[in-house]
Amino acid sequence: KKIAKGTAGCFQGRRRRCALLTGSLDRGGACALMGRINVATFPVALAASLLFPRIALAFQPPLAGLHSPHLAARRPPRILQRASMGLVAGTTVSAGADSAENGVELKPAVGGKPITFGHRLCVAPMVGASDLAFRVATRRWGADCAWTEMFYSDKIVSDAGYMEQVLESSPEDRPLVVQVCGNDPTMMAAAAAKIERFCQDDLFGLDAIEINLGCPQKRAMDGHFGSYLLDKRDWDLVCDMVSAMDQAVDVPILCKIRLLQTRDQTLEFALRLQDAGCSLLTVHGRQRGSQRHGRKGPANLEEVAFLKTQLRIPVICNGNIRCAQDVVANLLSTGADGVMSAEGVLSNAAVFAQAKQLEEGKEPGMSNPREAALEYLQCAEQYPTPFHIVHQHVACMLGLAPSTEGASWVQRK
């Protein structure tokens, strides 16, 4: 009792120190308080906290009013809890610019929305290669759906002219999925709402918005988005982003991920995305890899097949498509609702049309690279496209680009 009484006296008027003794403060907050603790009384207080933890807890104050520059430095404002975002009917979340421009009216959570558009044969989002002319051309060559390239949520919200510069569409360009990246739930929700308004008012509609959780490039590492949000410490943040976006717009919210370190981790993360409001999951069957070594080996389609059996939402398989036979084989082996291709479509524009012929029991004809390139040039004339992008596409179609050497060997022969 004497020790407890002495402990109470030590902390008379300085009750915050008890939080340090009972482990309630993190290292930053502890450092902020250590300088104010009396050295003479600290051993007595420490002994009391160890011998009589309940007594020490009685003196523990709430931490809400505790401010420390160390805490502020260690806890960036990007980690938002759903309660603090005000995800209830009638509330508005602002993303940092003009509230009238960026305010997002959030509706009660209703879960993932149903997918009502065709998504069996999909053209992947590709930075610098998912231009309108190419999206329209791939639809004419058998694709069911096409993605835009990745756009940045902060630029969408803060730059009034950004959407007009990077996104264009046409009546042929449907179904259309717009991909966006970021790491802040409020910003992502505001960006999704702005994308939806822009596509509905100024373009020809929108079918879904996708969160990029698969980009492995250095820009994603530096900006902390893409596949660098797959670490477990960011799962709560990602789920908050999905929920906020799902409630901010009327179109479905999709996610594209890579495989995690283990099957159990990938499944747990996918289930959390599903519960947060993700309506469709695209899975690239490779792990993130490293900046030095990049990707190694073929995609692991067995993991995609396993995920398909465990999820209620549609799953699209991404990886290992070089020819029409690969398209059919991937669909059969994974049981996925669709497949997505990037390099395969770049090098063989007719890969999806040939796959449809195979499924109909017909022998697919050899694609004519010259005809494909000429048709793309017509689309690029109809929908003006920067020359360097046109040059890149034509080089890939003709098998002249280094990145398509393996895929285009037959065509070049």
Question: What does the CA dihedral 106, 107, 111, 113 come to, rounded to 10 degrees?
Answer: -90
Secondary structure (DSSP) of 159-193 = -TTHHHHH----TTS-SEEEEEE-S-HHHHHHHHH
Q: Pick the closest to residue 28 from 57, 55, 66 (CA basis).
A: 66
Residue 387's Cβ-count burial label (10 Å; 0-12, 13-18, 19+) is exposed
CA distance 27 to 247: 36
CB 321 within 8 A of CB 351: yes
Query: Are β-strands 104-105 and 92-93 bridged in parallel, bridged antiparallel, or unpaired?
Result: antiparallel
Q: How many other C-beta atoms lie within 10 A of the C-beta of residue 64?
A: 6
The catalytic residue among 122, 181, 199, 215 is 215
CA distance 196 to 202: 10
- The DSSP output letter for 124 is P
CA distance 70 to 72: 5
**Alpha helices in 59-120, H assignment, sequence order:** 69-74, 99-102
Q: What is the 3-state secondary structure (H, E, C) of 243-254?
A: HHHHHHCCCCEE
CB 319 within 8 A of CB 256: no
215: annotated active-site residue = yes
In Å, what is the CA distance from 42 to each residue of 14, 45, 47, 365?
12, 5, 9, 84
Q: Which amino acid is at 10?
A: C
Token couple for 205: 């509609």
The H or E element spanning position 136 is helix 132-140
Q: 3-state SS of the chain: helix, strand, coil percent to 5? A: 50, 10, 40
Enzyme catalytic residues: 215
